[in-house]
Amino acid sequence: MNTDFDDPAAGLRMALRRLAKAVVVITCVHDGRRYAMAATAVSEISMDPPTMLICINRTASIHEPLAAGADFCLNILHSGQADISANCSGKAKGDARFALGEWSDLGGRLILSGAQANIVCRNLKRIEAGSHTIFIGEVARTRQSGAVDPLLYVDGGYAVASSIRAAPSSAAASS
């Protein structure tokens, strides 16, 4: 069954339920305060120089420190870290977001130790876009840990990735 939407925002919301994204917790420190927010609107831009972008709602508490120029870290979550994502997307507020998980320092930036990867970015520039601000960061340092096993967000819930293994061909299966 096909469903068409006349309202582009409503249609986009429904379409995006079908776009599986890896969950990232963005962190920064500003004026001695720690900030963290779960996000999926995160993308690579270029490798030369290595740059990333994040889209942040202007109402989010991390927006103000980022707009003030705070550098940020992208922590790509592991499939076992859905509780940290929930904490960093509204369940906990302020510094209580750091009660779950082990947080440490990488080159002066706040990183989640058990994350699959950490990408430390220098806050380069910003672009206003509707309700959100796009922040562009130049990658300064990265770290990876463990196997590739991301936490995904799809159809309004958390999921894990599994690879598609080629089914054995009938010739191979009968030999």
State the DSSP string of 13-29. HHHHTTS-EE-EEEEEE
> Rounded to the nearest whole angstrom, what is the least distance from the CB of residue 170 to ligand FMN in the complex?
41
Count interface residues toward ligand FMN (CB under 6 A).
16
Say if residues 37 and 25 touch (Cβ distance below 8 Å).
Answer: yes
> Rounded to the nearest whole angstrom, what is the least distance from the CB of residue 165 to ligand FMN in the complex?
28
Q: Answer yes or no whether residue 113 interacts with ligand FMN by CB under 6 A.
A: no
Stretch that binds ligand FMN, among 50-58, 65-73, 113-121, 163-171 (CB under 6 A): 50-58
Q: Residues 70-109: x/- map of binding to ligand FMN (CB under 6 A)? A: ---------------x---xx-------------------
Say if residues 119 and 76 touch (Cβ distance below 8 Å).
Answer: yes
Closest CA to 101 of 145, 58, 138: 145
CA dihedral 102, 108, 110, 112 (to 10 degrees): -50
42 versus 140: smaller Cβ distance to ligand FMN:
42
Alpha-helical runs (H) found in the chain: 8-16, 63-67, 82-86, 170-174
Q: Answer yes or no whether residue 159 interacts with ligand FMN by CB under 6 A.
A: no
Closest CA to 157 of 15, 7, 23: 23
> Rounded to the nearest whole angstrom, what is the least distance from the CB of residue 88 to ligand FMN in the complex?
6
d(CA 32, CA 98): 14
18 versus 165: smaller Cβ distance to ligand FMN:
18
Q: Answer yes or no whether residue 37 interacts with ligand FMN by CB under 6 A.
A: yes
2 versus 59: smaller Cβ distance to ligand FMN:
59
Q: Answer yes or no whether residue 28 interacts with ligand FMN by CB under 6 A.
A: no
β-strand 21-22 against 132-144: which pairing, if any? Answer: unpaired
Which positions touch ligand FMN (CB under 6 A)? 23, 37-41, 55-57, 60-62, 85, 89-90, 153
